Structure 1
């Protein structure tokens, strides 16, 4: 979630479970938005259609007004399957993100640095379609990678795409399919955030990725499985970070 200086708000991905078995939109996203006083969203921007990135949209649409949903090149039908069937989903308009698009909201700059329109694996949905989004305000920037793979990272590095950012949302939850050395050195983040579930069955984040982040960036690493919610606040000059975790009887 991003909240601008004058109270506009938008989301980049919503979270979810890989099998879509938990309504994260209603049970997590909406309470979190309301906690921060957000009662409407200008838009939801999605990196790709996988349930663990877009699975909360359906629940949000049923509870909070959303201007539009911005999607990748996987096709509206794939996104609707992820969102689930509801009148709110059926009514919602969707717009496909185009590479090179820029927008500004209250001085916050949003850039679509990469939006692949085809998938060399032949599948019509998945990590190969991950958009790369950078959000900047003043001296600080945040790079959202979705599940961008190393093959696509290499394309961006070869192009000379300006990737340097203050904060990196580490690709694919710290999987070894992302976060190549060349890409990390190009981003040069001061903070690297790994969004990952506690005790997940995939073994994320991989130890080699943690080591690579230390070696290539020297950044401070923040993990949602260890530190919970990660919140950055900036006035365009100073930047501060807070974390918050709630323990239950399963931890």
Structure 2
């Protein structure tokens, strides 16, 4: 392989592969089980994976999922970065990396992920993923998966703390330490990501989508999107629909 390539894929039945280039699996939504040379983990939007050249890997999922798949030449990566990737094939996604992944996901859905964009984006992503210190598994991991699986649930801070088995004050501290945000800000961003993906990838009525994502009604969703993205649900759908599969 001589160039960097990116694709948007979903996996269901077990599929095994091996190739002579490096690969990053960057989940956008849902969960995906990935086994790399006998070492397995569940991937989700807060955990990505690095697959070194030549390693046999198998992936499967029993739920709706979508991931960006980045294929690249490992020889073109700085040796220090390559070494850090190999040390931690299953790597947590920090807030900076998450924004980069979401950005590229939107560009890929629009067919705008050009070679030039990839050439600038890939080093930023790899640097972001390898610059974070290795630390114990997040205490929020199971709770975040629960929140993402039920975006329409009427979550409040007290209920989120209960699910995470933390006090409300400790929940705020852990969110700040691990994600550099607050529980409610994270929840709002997660719901907007959920809405944007369904607006682009489904024909669900906007009113139904709004309540499904936890908003009181379509008007509340429109207000949230105007505030955060300076657009409306209808305008976003018209601009972004149809390439997520």
TM-score under structure 1 length normalisation: 0.32
Q: More helix by proportion, 1 or 2? A: 2
Q: More strand by proportion, 1 or 2? A: 1
Greater relative CO (CA pairs within 8 A, separation 6+): 2
Which of the two has higher C-alpha Rg? 2
TM-score under structure 2 length normalisation: 0.32
